[in-house]
Structure 1
Amino acid sequence: MQKLQGKVAAITGGNSGIGFAIAQRFVSEGAYVFIMGRRQAQLDEALSVLGENAEAVQGDVTKPDDLARLFETVKTRKGRLDILVPNSGISEYAPLEAISAEHFDHIFGINVRATLFTVQAESELVV
Structure 2
Amino acid sequence: MSRLKGKIAVVTGGNSGIGLAIARRFAAEGAQVFITARRRDALDAAAREIGANVTAIAADLTRLEDIDRIAGAVRADAGRVDVVVSNAGITEQVKLPDITPDHYARTFDLNCRAPCSWCRRCCR
Question: Normalising by the residue count of structure 1, what TM-score does the alignment of the two structures yield?
Answer: 0.93
Paired positions, count = 124
Give the match for residue 79 of structure 2.
Answer: 79
The residue type equivalent to 2:43 in the other structure is L
Matched to 2:74, the amino acid is: V
Once the two structures are superposed, the pairs formed by residues 48-127 of structure 1 within 5 Å of their partners are: 48-124=48-124
Structure 2: where are the runs of 5+ without partners? none
**Displacement, 1:52?**
2.3
Deviation at 1:122, TM superposition (A): 1.4
What is the distance in 2 between the residues matched to 1:7 and 1:63? 27
Q: Amino acid of the residue matched to residue 5 of structure 2?
A: Q
1:69 corresponds to which letter in structure 2?
A: R
Unaligned 5+ residue runs, structure 1?
none
Contact map agreement 2:27 2:52 (CA 8 A) in 1? no
Amino acid at match of 2:54: A
- Aligned CA-pair RMSD: 1.0
What's the TM-score once normalised by structure 2's chain length? 0.95
User: What SS does the corresponding residue of 1:3 show, helix, strand or coil?
Assistant: coil
Q: Partners in 1 of 2:16 and 2:5 — Cα distance?
A: 23
SS, match of residue 113 in structure 1: helix
C-alpha distance in structure 2 between counterparts of 1:119 and 1:36, whole Å: 14
Percent identity of equivalent pairs: 42
Question: Is 1:23 the equivalent of 2:50?
Answer: no
Instruction: Report what 1:8 is aligned to.
Output: 8
Question: Structure 1 stretches (4+) deviating beyond 2 angstroms?
Answer: none
| AA of the residue aligned to 1:15 | N
- 1:27-38 equivalent positions in 2, closer than 5 A: 27-38=27-38
